[in-house]
Amino acid sequence: MLVLRPALRCARAPSSLSRLSVSRGFATTLRRAEELHKTPLYDFHVKNAAKMVPFAGWSMPLSYGEVGQITAHKHVRSSAGLFDVSHMLQHNFTGPTAQSFLLTLCPSSLASLPPFSSTLSVLLNEVGGIIDDTIITKHSDDAFYVVTNAGRAKEDKEFITKQLAKWNAEHKDGEKVKWETLEGWGLLALQGPKAKDVVQGMTDKDLSEIKFGQSAFVELDNGKGDKVKCHLARGGYTGEDGFEISIPPAEAVAIGERIAQHPDVLLIGLGARDSLRLEAGMCLYGHDLDESISPVEAGLSWVIGKDRRAEDATPTFPGKSRILTELAKGPGKRRVGFEVIGAPAREGSKIFDAAGTKQIGVITSGIPSPSLGTNIAMGYIENGQHKKGTEVKVEVRKKLRDAVVRPMPFVPTKYYK
Amino acid sequence: MLSALRPLARPATGAFRNLASVKSTTQTLRFSAVRFVSTRYTTDHEWVSFDSNTNIGTVGITDYAQKALGDVVFVELPAQGNEIAQGDSIGAVESVKAASDIYAPVSGVIDEINETLADQPGLLNKAPQGDGWLCKVKLSDPAEFEALLEADAYKAHCEGA
């Protein structure tokens, strides 16, 4: 049965996480370890009995020791969990035209974004498809900090390189944009209701001043008597209050150890990261998003700034005509949440109408929810069938199961606002 | 038998400790002299404990499998009376992260399913080779059972996987 065969079946496995997590991973991790990138915390993970798996070209912790995914998941919801997300690509864009340049890559309203605030956004291709989803943090009109997905590093770099070359060719010295990626830096996410107490114990900065979606450079105590300047952004990928902390390479381990020593903190791997984000209704690129899908289809219309939507608004963004049409007339399909009765639906499960006769969509992520005890999923469904409460059928192991369109997030978010 | 008792430095040790307890049941049953019960394994990490007297095989997953799966939260089993053919997908064991098919290790008719798993899927983690059994199958071709892996061969399979 188990493990080996499903490992090779893309349609059945819910996400790359699961594909990597099963036993195939145990053998290949060793063989491929040398080819995989390691975050600055690699040795720290190994020391803490992490089960390391290949993920997006990186060797990453799936779980730690004997702590199961459900225990890890619930600990984040009730206390605090530390995630190493250093595999994600961190960028700095600086220069007098940095804001205008970024406006040509994404549809967000960066002009109205206050300094030291972040927004979810998308990098778009020429036909309005999502190259990647990203968090853009504005420090000032001429300085932006951007985080993109590890699994899209190659595509993102190619896209930015090309667009930037064009941009800088059209701008004279003194107006050009400088782009750097923070290779080797640490990026740690501390998530959960106790995250603020843990970080507050490491800094003199009053964290109540930093609300959800805001950020600051703060000095964090590394447990060795040193203060380390880190970028602290309030938010994350779990729906809980928490922080994403960007740390200079040499200090990443010390800060990680300092946080992990706190009695309320548990180390959390990619397994629980996936179930937490799905309960929060958040997308995982490569599963819920790809280059054919527009932000309108993905239910991310809110990332398209009001000031960017006028026909004549400049600068324009890639794929604008498709996106404006979809905003006006509705997209062909929409990403929505589902509750599936009886058995969990996984990525690739077909969605049928209530009569079970016509396929009207496909599941892109699905799990038995550790917090709710119900089977939750997200997927794309024909426009018109997307309203909450709509009854549909979802095919799991050749049987049609009852399912209902549900609003997301499945678990209410608890941001500090 | 000896290999099951030999201390192993591998993670599979746990599996074989459990196996030893399964075997001790075997010994007791063997006492009745005519009955023959033995356990064999598949490369898909299932075990079958076959009773030649009743022609019934009890099917479950191995300790190696439960460790790889993590917390089991849902088990879907075939209905009693279903006819199954070796290699058929007859259900699934699901953790939060993944669904893994249960493939019929032998052909036959489902004689009984482990109803307890509906309420306590965690039994698959706690006692995969005991109370966490999946179903009982009345074998249509016992030769299929004889062709499955013996404990040593299965152990070698896990170590080489």
**What CATH number has the domain bearing residue A222?**
3.30.1360.120
Measured CA to CA, the distance from residue A265 to residue B38 in angstroms comes to: 47
User: Residue A8 is part of which domain span?
Assistant: 4-86+185-279
Q: Does B73 touch chain A (CB under 8 A)?
A: yes
Cβ pair B60, B106 in contact under 8 A? no
CB atoms inside a 10 Å sphere around CB A417: 10
Measured CA to CA, the distance from residue A335 to residue A326 in angstroms comes to: 14
A302, part of any domain: no
Going by pLDDT thresholds of 50, 70 and 90, the confidence category of residue A162 is: very high
Helix pair A270-279, A69-78: axis angle to 10 deg: 60
Query: Are A66 and A200 within one domain?
Result: yes
A24, part of any domain: yes
Residues in CB range of A329: below 8 A, 6 or more apart: none
Q: Is B154 helix (H, G, I), strand (E, B) or coil?
A: helix
Domain boundaries, chain B: 2-160
Q: Is B102 helix (H, G, I), strand (E, B) or coil?
A: strand
Query: Are A336 and A271 within one domain?
Result: no
Chosen for mutation from B66, B100, B129 (greatest number of chain A CBs closer than 10 Å) is: B100
Cβ separation of A14 and B44 shorter than 8 Å?
no
What are the backbone dihedrals phi and psi of residue A158, each rounded to the nearest 5 degrees, phi first? -65, -45
Strand partners, B56: B51, B138
Task: Among B74, B96, B101, select the one facing A70 at the smallest CB separation.
Answer: B96
Share of chain B above pLDDT 70, in %: 78
Q: What is the per-residue pLDDT for B37? A: 87
Q: Which residue has the higher pLDDT, A175 or B13?
A: A175
Confidence (pTM): 0.88
Identify the weakest region by mean pLDDT among A29-33, A69-73, A234-238, B93-97: A29-33
A53, part of any domain: yes
Q: What is the per-residue pLDDT for B12? A: 36
Average pLDDT over chain A reads 93
- Chain A hits for B100, Cβ within 8 Å: 1-3, 5-6, 22
What is the bridge-based pairing of β-strands B46-51 and B56-61? antiparallel
Going by pLDDT thresholds of 50, 70 and 90, the confidence category of residue B34 is: low
Q: Does A74 touch chain B (CB under 8 A)?
A: no
Going by pLDDT thresholds of 50, 70 and 90, the confidence category of residue B14 is: very low
Task: Among B45, B70, B161, select the one facing A1 at the smallest CB separation.
Answer: B45
CB atoms inside a 10 Å sphere around CB A363: 27
Cβ separation of A1 and B61 shorter than 8 Å?
yes
Cβ separation of A2 and B93 shorter than 8 Å?
yes
Q: What is the per-residue pLDDT for B36? A: 82
Residue with tokens 């249960």: B102
Domain spanning B2-160: which CATH class is it, in words?
mainly beta
Q: What is the per-residue pLDDT for A409? A: 98
Q: Which residue has the higher pLDDT, A89 or B2?
A: A89
**DSSP string computed for A243-311:** EEEEE-GGGHHHHHHHHHTSTTEEE--HHHHHHHHHHTT---BTTTB-TT--TTTTT-GGGS-GGG-ST
Q: Is A94 helix (H, G, I), strand (E, B) or coil?
A: strand
Cβ separation of B102 and A1 shorter than 8 Å?
yes
Quote the tokens at residue B9.
Answer: 């430095």
Q: Does A13 touch chain B (CB under 8 A)?
A: yes
Cβ pair A57, A157 in contact under 8 A? no
Measured CA to CA, the distance from residue A50 to residue A87 in angstroms comes to: 16
Going by pLDDT thresholds of 50, 70 and 90, the confidence category of residue A182 is: very high
Q: Which residue has the higher pLDDT, B34 or B145?
A: B145
Cβ separation of B96 and A271 shorter than 8 Å?
yes
Q: Which amino acid is at B122?
A: G
The complex scores an ipTM of 0.82
Going by pLDDT thresholds of 50, 70 and 90, the confidence category of residue B160 is: confident
Cβ separation of A1 and B46 shorter than 8 Å?
yes
Q: What is the per-residue pLDDT for A12? A: 34
Cβ pair A107, A317 in contact under 8 A? yes
**What CATH number has the domain bearing residue A393?**
2.40.30.110
**Based on the structure, what is the number of domains in chain A?**
2
- Chain B hits for A394, Cβ within 8 Å: none
Query: Are A197 and A340 within one domain?
Result: no
CA angle A328-A331-A285, nearest 5°?
A: 125
Q: What is the per-residue pLDDT for A23? A: 36
Share of chain A above pLDDT 90, in %: 92
Count of pairs with CB atoms under 8 A, one residue in A, one in B: 107
Measured CA to CA, the distance from residue A30 to residue B88 in angstroms comes to: 32
Q: What is the pLDDT of residues A212-231, one digit of tens each?
A: 999 999 999 999 999 999 99
Q: What is the per-residue pLDDT for A29? A: 45
A113, part of any domain: no
Cβ separation of B65 and A21 shorter than 8 Å?
no
Q: What is the DSSP letter of B79?
A: P
A121, part of any domain: no
CA angle A303-A305-A310, nearest 5°?
A: 135
Query: Are A392 and A274 within one domain?
Result: no
Quote the tokens at residue A401.
Answer: 């199961």
Phi-psi category of residue A307: left, alpha or beta, with phi > 0 → left and psi -120 to 50 → alpha: alpha
CB atoms inside a 10 Å sphere around CB A189: 24
Handedness of CA B124, B128, B131, B136 (dihedral sign): positive
Decide if pLDDT at B89 tops 90.
yes
Q: What is the pLDDT of residues A190-216, one digit of tens each?
A: 999 999 999 999 999 999 999 999 999
Decide if pLDDT at B55 tops 70.
yes
Domain boundary among A279, A298, A324: A279
